[in-house]
Structure 1
Amino acid sequence: MRSVNPESLNDPVKGLSNTALGLCGESGEVADMVKKHLHQGHELDKEHLAKELGDVTWYLALGATIIGYELEDILQMNIDKLRKRYPDGFDSQKSQHREKGDE
C-alpha cells in the first residue's frame, strides 16, 4: 500500500470510492483489449493484458485493505464459496438456480 494516495487509507469513503472507480476503469481497459481482439481484428498483447490485470489486482488489494481484510483471505473465501456451490465442478443448472443465501 505504499503506492496508494494516503487519503485513500485515511478516509474510508475516499478509499472505497478510489477502489470502485479504479476497478471500473482498469476492468474497462481489460474489456476494451478483449473487444478489440475479438471484434476488431487486433492482436492480443498478452503482456499488456497481464499488466492491466495487475492494475485490477492492485485495486482489489486496496479494497481489501480498506475493509480490513487480507486479499489472500478474500480470494480463499471465494474459492470456498465456489467449492460449496459447485462441489463437482461447474454446473449450469446450479448457476441458474442458486440456493437461498448463495451470493
Structure 2
Amino acid sequence: MEFNEYQNLANRTLYGNEQVLTNCALGIAGETGELVDIIKKYTFHGHTLDKDALTKEMGDVLWYLSQIAQWADIPFDEIAVQNIQKLKKRYPNGFSKEASINRIDE
C-alpha cells in the first residue's frame, strides 16, 4: 500500500470538524505512550515482546500522523520522500557515530 492511499483510507475514520489538529496531536501523544510502554515492559520488566500489540500501536501512531498530514494538506508520500532525502544527505554512507556528531545538515 502506498502512503497516500493509506492517508485517504484512514481519513474515512476521522471524526469531528473542530479542533482536528489538537485532537490528532493529543492522540499521537497518547498512542506513542502506549507504544513506548510496550517497549519499556519488554526492556526493563522482563515481558516478552508482544509484536501484535506493537504492530497495533504503531498503526495507531501512523493513523494520527496521516491525519495531521491530511489536515495540513500534505501528501503522506511527500513526508516519506522528504525524510529519506534528509537521511541520505545526513548519512550518505549509512548511519555512523561520526556522521551523527558532525551532521552535514546543520
Q: Please, what TM-score do these two structures have when normalized by structure 1?
A: 0.85
Q: Return the offset for 1:90.
A: 0.6
Of residues 64, 71, 74 in structure 1, which corresponds to 2:76? 71
Distance (whole Å) between structure 2 residues aligned to residue 23 and residue 96 of structure 1? 29
Shift of 1:98: 2.5
Deviation at 1:46, TM superposition (A): 0.3
Q: C-alpha separation between the residues in 2 aligned to 1:82 and 1:3? A: 32
Q: CA RMSD in A?
A: 1.4
Corresponding residue for 1:5?
15
**Following the alignment from structure 2 to structure 1, what is the Cα–Cα distance between the partners of residues 99 and 71?**
32
Distance 1:84 1:47 in 2: 34
How far did 1:23 drift? 1.2
The runs of 5 or more residues in structure 2 that have no matched partner are 1-10
Q: CA deviation at 1:6?
A: 3.0
Structure 1 gaps of 5+ residues are: none
- SS in structure 1 of the partner of residue 26 of structure 2: helix
Q: Does 1:90 align with 2:95?
A: yes
- Provide runs of 4+ in structure 1 moved above 4 Å: none
Q: Which string of whole-angstrom CA distances, capped at 9 and with x for unpartnered residues, describes residues 72-100 of structure 1?
A: 1101110011001111111222222324x
Quick one: distance in 1 between partners of 2:102 and 2:28? 28
Alignment partner of 1:60: what SS?
A: helix
Q: Which has the higher contact order (CA 8 A, sep 6+)?
A: 2
- Please state if 1:44 is matched with 2:54: no
